[in-house]
Amino acid sequence: METTRLTMAQALVRWLTAQKTEIDGQVVPLFPGAFGIFGHGNVTSLAEALAEVKDEFPTWRGHNEQSMALSAVAYAKAMRRKQIMVATSSVGPGSTNMVTAAGVAITNRLPLLLLSGDTFTHRIVDPVLQQVEQFGDPTVTAADTFKPVTRFWDRIVKPEQLLKSLPQALAVMLDPAECGPAFIALPQDVQAEAYDYPTKFFDEKVHYIRRPQADPREIESAAATIASAKKPLVISGGGVLYSGAAETLGAIASKRNIPVVETFAGKGAFADDDAFYAGSLGIAGDACSNAIAEDADVVIAVGTKLQDFTTGSWALFKDPNVKIVAINAARWDATKQQAVGVIGDADVSLQQIDAALGDYAAPGEWIERARSEKAKWNEHLDEFGRAVSDPPAYNQVIQRVHQISDPTDYVLSAAGGLPGELFAGWRTKEPNTFDCEFGFSCMGYEIAGAVGAKMALPDRDVVSWVGDGSYLMMNSDIYASVLTGNKVIFIVCDNEGFAVINRLQVNQGGEEFNNLLRTTKHTNLQKVDFVAHAMSMGANAEKVESLDDIPAAYERAKASDKTYVLVVDVAQYEWVGGGTWWEVGVPEVSNRAEVRAARAVYEAESKHQRPGV
């Protein structure tokens, strides 16, 4: 057998560069590159191996380990899981900084390969700098913190273990049912060790994402359940995007008079003006989708994990006999809530169910009601957008930008008040133009993720909506976007604090406390100059003083040859509305009458919750 002698780090990098995939008929790298911050634990061995292939496998310098891994996550989403980015860190805090990004990837079912430096396997010099010592188990290091937030975890303690570990890690990341982050710990001494690897291990290989098919009995059962419906409703989740099932689902919905609503992960699969499209569902959704969801007798959940924000904490569906049909590649998601489960690829399963439905169609008045509700919601958004406040509400800014945006502009956001306002208020002009990370609702994704999305979509404008709280939490990738030439338009909406959490606090009867900046225990309150800060990192930036100034400012941002930051002061208490109830812990005993009133609402609404049987 022919062998090639390489260090473990060299073998790892060579194998990564040999993995390919096919996109639109072109064979391209499955791993298009890595984000890396080097330190002890990855700079002497892994960095040397990466430097040898820097032209074919580029390494992008990060500024925070969490943010660079978030960029990798957003890249994978923009590429619909067809390509996977790598993120590498040193030992200790560099490693643990990536744990949050792993949480984002696993929650959103997105592939990400994390390579962390680790301590020495020989332990002669324990403890090394930044080593976490677990007194009862010397095998535990900081790398073990990734176990709860990854689909695949391994520590390479012998160079030859790569031969088994790498293919298994990749299989998980490419599996539509298991998809999520893979983590491999790379001890410093083992990275440098050499081994005679089989040369064929580095042969080029083209990979694809499987399309598993459901058991025919599941298809039959799902079709029978749907055929019994007088008020069916489709919930379209992220799996519709990853399966490429939107065209199939849209054709079925049109033919069979079934309204389609979207989740956060699934938003953007359909244009807002599609005749069957009925809006954004749930707690942060719109009034139209929630109104019809309350009356639905069969809910067809396609490619969604049915998060509480989607289901109104399972109190949204008011029909006591409502039935759930769950179509999902993941068994875990297809079998929730005693659903009629269809475990398989969304596109294939939908085609098979459609064939089994015969001439079934829901009553015409059902789809007409959905259209009527949608028209009323659009009127609400139009009226909201025409209003003028000082400072403006989030959605007044959103509607003004929407009016002048290009259909291909890729809208991105994550945590705070903006996700709900965009989810309910942004009317998708063209499919595949929306990314709101709300599975983990990770502050900081807005800026870092936008850079990754722009890398994946270089010919489109990426427009990232950022609250002042998220901006202050993680902003260094504005500099990264300038440094790498990946231009992003950032719209920073400043309401001087965490206004959406303040709303939650007040709505549950609480005192305004520690969320808006003026309610914190500080005596030197100063307004942040986000324009000056962004410009200090090399971006172009300007303050937008009024709603009427938005069109010209947005055009300047689009014309700019580098990252552009628009800063807008927004109201703290004005929201677009439309959502449904959400379960949060409301104190059963309180000295505040407002809290006691909120507790009464909690007890009344929780009676509508579907127990899962």
- In which band, very low, low, confident or very high, does the pLDDT at 135 lie, cut at 50, 70 and 90? very high
Mean pLDDT of the residues in the chain: 96
Q: What is the pLDDT of residue 296?
A: 98
pTM of the predicted model, to two decimals?
0.97
3-state secondary structure of 488: coil
Neighbours of 350 (CB within 10 A): 27
Distance CA 391, CA 396 (A): 10
What mean pLDDT comes out for the span 412-421? 95
**Dmax over Cα atoms in the chain, in whole Å?**
79
CA distances for 143 relative to 68, 98, 155, 225, 462, angstroms: 18, 10, 8, 47, 33
Phi/psi of residue 544, nearest 5 degrees? -95, 115
Q: What is the pLDDT of residue 1?
A: 92
Do the beta carbons of residue 408 and residue 458 sit within 8 Å?
no
- In which band, very low, low, confident or very high, does the pLDDT at 185 lie, cut at 50, 70 and 90? very high
Q: What is the pLDDT of residue 521?
A: 85
Residue 181 has pLDDT above 90, yes or no: yes
Residue 610 has pLDDT above 90, yes or no: no
Do the beta carbons of residue 350 and residue 337 sit within 8 Å?
no
Residue 554 has pLDDT above 60, yes or no: yes
CA distances for 461 relative to 78, 408, 415, angstroms: 13, 7, 21
Non-local CB neighbours of 471 within 8 Å, separated by 6+ positions: 446, 447, 492, 530
What mean pLDDT comes out for the span 23-46? 96
Q: What is the pLDDT of residue 524?
A: 85
Non-local CB neighbours of 275 within 8 Å, separated by 6+ positions: 254, 371
Q: What's the pLDDT tens digit per position in 566-602?
A: 999 999 999 999 999 999 999 999 999 999 999 999 9
Percent of the chain with pLDDT over 70: 100
Backbone dihedral region for residue 57 (phi beyond 0: left; psi -120 to 50: alpha; all else: beta): beta
What mean pLDDT comes out for the span 449-474? 97
Pairing of strands 410-413, 59-61: unpaired
What mean pLDDT comes out for the span 171-196? 98
**SS3 of 159-227:** HHHHHHHHHHHHHHHHCCCCCCEEEEEEEHHHHHCEEEEEHHHHCCEEECCCCCCCCHHHHHHHHHHHH
Assigned token pair, 398: 């959103």
- In which band, very low, low, confident or very high, does the pLDDT at 222 lie, cut at 50, 70 and 90? very high
Q: What's the pLDDT tens digit per position in 503-524?
A: 999 999 999 999 999 999 877 8
Q: Can you say how many angstroms the Cα of residue 225 is from the centroid of all Cα atoms in its chain?
A: 31
3-state secondary structure of 318: coil
Q: What's the pLDDT tens digit per position in 290-326?
A: 999 999 999 999 999 999 999 999 999 999 999 999 9
Distance CA 163, CA 171 (A): 13
Residue 557 has pLDDT above 90, yes or no: yes
Lowest mean pLDDT among 128-132, 363-367, 451-455, 481-485: 128-132
Percent of the chain with pLDDT over 90: 97
Residue 336 has pLDDT above 90, yes or no: yes
Least Cα distance to 193 among 233, 222, 223, 156 occurs for 156
CA distances for 94 relative to 43, 49, 100, 158, 450, angstroms: 12, 19, 12, 23, 22
Residue 511: half-sphere exposure toward Cβ, Cα within 13 Å: 8
- In which band, very low, low, confident or very high, does the pLDDT at 194 lie, cut at 50, 70 and 90? very high
DSSP state of 228: T
Residue 612 has pLDDT above 90, yes or no: no
Residue 613 has pLDDT above 70, yes or no: no
Do the beta carbons of residue 564 and residue 557 sit within 8 Å?
yes
Token look-up 């965009």 returns 422
Residue 220 has pLDDT above 80, yes or no: yes
Domains of the chain (ranges; CATH) run: 3-207 (3.40.50.970), 216-373 (3.40.50.1220), 387-569 (3.40.50.970)
Q: What is the pLDDT of residue 315?
A: 95
3-state secondary structure of 463: strand
